[in-house]
Amino acid sequence: MSGRGFKRFLLKLTVTSIALLVVVKICPWAEVHDPVALLVTALLLGIFNSILRPLLILLTLPINIVTFGLFIFVINGLILYIIARLVPGFELASIWAAILTSMLVSLTAGIINWLIKDDRPKHYAY
């Protein structure tokens, strides 16, 4: 992994961790017991979203088309629920709590990314 790719990975991991922390502090149905569980959850969320999520979206394509893409919220919640079952120290009350939590984490991460957006012009080599 190049230095630039590693920095991008660390930035995404940090943003996801902060978003998870904010949502867990606000929502009574989600708990994280220690910082290690928070980082492991954020790391697994990144890994699962890059590997498992595209496969699940492809497999549920007909349902996604019928629901105009809203079923993706269920897929995201399912992934977060699986992670909550795998990571000791990260707990969610139910699958519905996982779906709502995943929506809030996505919204919070989007806001954080918007706040730290780099407005410098991009220079591309052609």
> Taking the chain, what is the end-to-end CA distance rounded to the nearest angstrom?
23
Sequence-distant (≥ 6) Cβ neighbours of residue 30 within 8 angstroms = 23, 24, 91, 92, 93, 97, 101
pLDDT digits (tens, 9 = 90+) for 66-120: 999 999 999 999 999 999 999 999 999 999 999 999 999 999 999 998 998 866 6
Whether the full predicted model's pTM is greater than 0.95, yes or no, is: no
pLDDT digits (tens, 9 = 90+) for 4-54: 788 888 888 899 999 999 999 999 999 999 999 999 999 999 899 889 999
